[in-house]
Amino acid sequence: MVRYGQCFKSLESGYVAGPDSNRQSAAALQARFRKMLQHTKGFSHAASRGPGITDGGPGSACNTARRGMYDANAGPSQDGLKPALHELHGFFAAPVGNFNFASHIPHSILAARGHGAGMPSAACGMPATATSFAFDVVVVGASFAGAACAIAAAQRGLRVCVLERKRDPGDKLRTTGIIVKEAAEQTLLNQLPASLTRRIEEVRLYAPSLKQVTLAAPGYYFLTTDTPSVMRWLAEQLRVSGVDLRLGSAFTGCTRLAEGAQVTGWQIEGVGVARYLVGADGARSRVARCCGLGEVRRFLFGIEYEFPGARLARPGALHCFLSKRYAPGYIGWLAQNPTGVQAGLALRHDPANARVPDIDGFLLRVGVAGGLPRLLKPGPIRAGLIPCSGPVSGLARDRAILTGDAAGIVSPVTAGGIHSAWQHGWAVGAAIATHLRDGCTITPEQAAVDAAPRFRSKRVLRWAYDRLQYDWPFDLLLHTAPLRWAAERVYFHKRRC
């Protein structure tokens, strides 16, 4: 038990370091601590036996627990360990003041909480119990929605794991990284380092003829970003919040666990058992397919070039181009960001007649008008599907919830999703925590459905734009008051409607 020495050293002064409201009597903590260690003494020895304890063989702790026997080599029975382990987990689950006890728990005790050996699990054919959950929440995907959900849950003391298939969160991105004012001011993104963002205060809207009009709203702005660095910053925020972030770990499958007709959790391959599973894994969500949830059916397909070190002639504007030829169903864009210029194009995606956006032809057409220097060589290229039909039907059921692109939480008109995704992801994480911690009668599944933006007016606009997009009305009406009014509502109005 020498591995607990550091914990006792922190108690010698009589109080655990931290704010006055978090201080506890050292004597009381030591007494509880020693009592719990007495109950787990035999189990610590059993877990030290190594891999053999989890092989499910005749001598494994799992089979010993099934028999309800105490074995001198395997450790005490399941019934004897449950109360002690449950109290031990509660004792260490959250930091007290500035001291994090959890970092000093031996592997043998963590294993008993579902991280490895020693307790029954679904893999052993035993039903999930209150002490066999490895995590309260497993989130698949570490982008904006997934990060928001995980941080919201972790801040309430839940055990959260995030699976991200990429080893580098800033690699192979599928987002422009443009943040609207609401997200920049009302979410954790307001703590982004200034070096990672650039403020844009106006929009230049170009008709197909390349006539242009400048749009602005008092006090409104966008932030373009060094998006790869933003994603790495988000990953660090997850770690700071106590989330178990597993980079390079893809979601491969899951199994529903139930007691009778009631679903109690999910067995996630390579992770363990979780009370809730949240899919924030993009427009083609594997979580949605595995859990039988709704799937996004209508998309835009976008591609974006990054030109490192380049500078637009008018870097203070977001340049947006209307063109049925190059961007049917959407727009093209140019924007100055902290590291260079991003130039993109998106169009309506038809699976039966897939078309690759002609971004090179588009840039030859609009580059001079948009102030893009000539003879540039693109650096990183981003491409992917963008949901455009609003929230999916059936985004939550049986302790499985979708958020972000996986749930269709993207504006059908602007295809902007960062603010809506962050809001929804945070609402889902907070709802799970409130349900588990406070016993809230509103289920997280219902809260997720209620928190999803409806985009009613924007879905109408999407329908009209898909069917009535012609170049000549924009050329003719670009400078008229009605078109300006409509454009300003799209770019500057409140995002939730």
278-326 tens-digit pLDDT: 999 999 999 999 999 999 988 999 999 999 999 999 999 999 999 999 9
Per-chain mean pLDDT for the chain: 78
pLDDT band at 396 (very low <50, low <70, confident <90, very high): very high
- Residues 132-168 pLDDT 10s: 899 999 999 999 999 999 999 999 999 999 999 999 9
Q: Within its chain, how far is the Cα of 330 from the centroid?
A: 26
Q: What is the pLDDT of residue 353?
A: 81
Q: What is the pLDDT of residue 329?
A: 86
Strand 272-279 to 400-402 pairing: parallel
Enumerate domains of the chain plus CATH numbers.
Answer: 2-121+128-132 (no CATH), 136-170+229-296+389-456 (3.50.50.60), 179-223+298-388+467-492 (3.30.9.10)
CB atoms within 10 A of CB 460: 12
Residue 3 has pLDDT above 80, yes or no: no
Q: With CA atoms as reference, report the closest residue to 341 among 311, 304, 301.
A: 311
The rounded distance, in Å, linking the Cα atoms of 401 and 394 is 9
- Amino acid, single-letter form, for residue 59: G
The rounded distance, in Å, linking the Cα atoms of 380 and 174 is 11
Query: How far is the CA of 363 from the CAs of 211, 376, 436, in angstroms?
Result: 16, 11, 52
Q: What is the pLDDT of residue 403?
A: 97
Residue 128 has pLDDT above 80, yes or no: no
CB 235 within 8 A of CB 151: no
Q: What is the pLDDT of residue 28?
A: 53
Mean pLDDT value across residues 95-102: 41
Q: What is the pLDDT of residue 181?
A: 94
